[in-house]
Structure formats: C-alpha cells, structure tokens
Copies of this chain bind each other. A is one copy, B any other.
Amino acid sequence: MKALILGSTGYTGMMLMRILSSHPQIDQIIPTSRSVAGQSVIAEDPGLHASIVEKLAGTDGCYVEFGEVDLGSVDVVFSALPHKTAASMIGPIVGTVPVIDLSADFRLVDREVYERVYGTTHPHPELLEKSVYGLSEWNRDEIRTASIIACPGCYPTATLLPLLPFAHLIDYPVIVDALSGISGAGRKEERNLLFNERSENMNAYNPGRVHRHVPEIVQELRRAVSAGSSAGSSAGTPADILFTPHLVPIKQGMLVTATARLTSPMSQEEAEAIVTDAYASSPFVNLTTRSTPQSRDVRNTNRCDLSVRVHGDHIQLFSALDNLYKGASGQAIQNMNIRLGLDERSGLRLSGEF
C-alpha cells in the first residue's frame, strides 16, 4: 500500500515517517513538502535510516511537491499541515482517497465555533459533517468508512480517554490539569521554546476555558453525556471543563489529572471496572499496574495508560501518553489501520521506556 504525507518536516510529519518506514503493510511513502521539495529525506532528517529509501522509490529518496503527485495509486493521505492550510489542501481530494488529518480543521462539528476559536473562515465547511472524530477507541465503526478522519489533538486524547467512561457519572465542571512536553507546541522557532527558556522551568498557561482544545473536549464530553444515559446529567451547564495546560521540560510526554464530583457514590472497585470494561478490546488503553501512570512507560508508543482513584464523593482520573505518538501520529496510523482493514496494532509500538 502507498501512503502520502502532506507536511513531512514538522514533528508529527517526522513521526509519521518513522512509523510508516517500519510499517509492514506500507510499501511506499510519498513525503511531500513545500519548503524542501527536491531535497534528500535522509539529509534533511538524519535520524531516519538510509534504508527508508527502499520505501521512497517513487520519489528518488526526496521530498516532492504535492501538486506533482499522481493520487490515483495512493491508498491513504495524511495531512500534518497547520490548520486552515490543511483544509485548503485536503478539500479538493476528499472522497477520492481516505484522508487522515492531524490539524484542527475537521474536529469541530460547529463551523461557528471553529471560526471563533481559530479566528479564520473555514475553507471547506461543507466537509465538516462528513468528518469523523478520530479518537480511535470511541469511533471505530465510523472510522472504517470515513472519507475524512479528524485526529484529535494531544490534550483532547489524553483528557477524553480517561473521562469519557465517566462522562455521565460526574458533575461539571471537571477540573483538568494537564502537563505537556515541549514538542506539543510543534517545531516552531519561538523564544518560548528554546532549550534555555524551558530547561529547569515550568508554568501553567491559557488556564480555564481559553485553550483552543477546550471546545473540542467539551464537544466530545457532551456527545458522551447525551449517549451515556437517557436521563443525562442535564442540569446546569452540561459537560463544562476548567482546563489548565502546563509546560514541563520533557520532550515527548503528556499527563492529565482530572478531578470531579461524582453524581452518586461509587467504590474504587466499581471505578476500576468501568475503565476495564470501557477498554476491554482496546490494546492501547489500559489500567496501569502502577498507582498512577508515568509518562516514560508510554514514550514512543501508541499507549495511553490510565488510573482512577475515588476519594469519597470525588473521583480522580489520571492518564499518560506520548503527545507525538498516541497524541498525534501514532493515533493517525491507528486510524489508518482501522480504515484500511488492517490489524489495529500493525506497525505501532507497545513497549515504552524505563
């Protein structure tokens, strides 16, 4: 099978290259890039091994311009472009080839919310209703036939996986404090991302309801609350969230600590059973054997490790994942596996670091 990547030189594009280069069912990769078209992939990204050229036969080992690619033989397109650019590039090809988008462009159902949050008009609003939200564990059936799969951001993935099984069992707002590695901010040459500004440093930012990922999290929580019970927890503002991201000096890693009041009593065993049941057939999501998850356990894997703790009338949920892997490119490949009828685990790493 043949996979094309739009935007191959950012961190998520580079991670896609790594996973696809050792994916057993992918024979050919077409890395496109506007900025470095015509240049050698290995020279641009020396972490890739020279043997990747076997899968780059169609491009002579070089990045190519998207416009020069014959899409006819391509089995799947990944977009690792920034938002808006993604929708503009993807729009014309939707329907002709399965598209897996890592940007924010097709995550939000409501065009107005998108345009307010991202401060721009949507280039292809007509595609919003065709898009499937690519949180793999919760939307497998729809992903199997989707024309566009909108992969969630890293914060929503790390927040929703622990919260969704409890969405209809808790009061709102949930208090979510998230810790992110620096690569979550992308490969931008910004002062705030320099080694000297981040090592031995940490801070919260955009607290409360202002982070761009909040509407996406709230949208999915509400969907789950509606689905979760006929009654719903419809009183008050449903599925509200106070979300505070923190930057910590780690390259790849994300941790979520979510705290909420339970709507009715629950034992520690019941809480654990809810998690276990929800992810019984999901190889990448599991209760950790630790009391709380550690980010190194899942570094460079597609896993999300969870734990849960009941404190009287409150519940705390913990998750850890790699923001570039399960939080981005790994989940994108997981969605490809589902979409193309492959084993969901194919080509994806399971064991993390120590």
Q: How far is the CA of A250 from the CA of B196 in the complex (A)?
A: 8
* Contact A204 to B292, CB < 8 A, known contacts A199-B195, A249-B248, A259-B175: yes
Is B202 a contact of A253 with CB atoms below 8 Å?
yes
B46 touches A290 (CB 8 A): yes
Copies in the complex: 4
A274-322 contacts to B (CB < 8 Å): 283, 286, 288-301, 303, 305, 309, 311, 314, 316, 318, 320
| Complex alpha-carbon distance, A351 and B19, angstroms | 9
Measured CB to CB, the closest approach of chain B to A23, in angstroms, equals: 12
Which B residue sits closest to A260, measured CB to CB?
A: B175
**Are A201 and B18 closer than 8 Å at their CB atoms?**
no
> Interface code A207-248, partner B: CB below 8 Å = 1, 0 otherwise?
111000000000000000000000000000000001010101
At the interface, yes or no: A69 with Cβ under 8 Å from chain B? no
* Nearest B-chain residue to A293, judged by Cβ: B203
Cβ contact within 8 Å between A14 and B289: no
Contact partner of A205 (CB less than 8 A), chosen from B201, B289, B292, is B292
How far is B323's CA from A202's CA once the two chains are assembled, in angstroms? 13
- In this complex, what residue of B is CB-closest to A15? B354
Hey, which chain B residues are within 8 Å of A257, CB to CB?
177, 204, 207, 244, 246
Question: Please, could you name 7 A-B residue pairs with CB atoms under 8 Å apart, sorted by A?
Answer: A46-B294, A197-B296, A200-B200, A203-B295, A207-B309, A207-B318, A248-B249
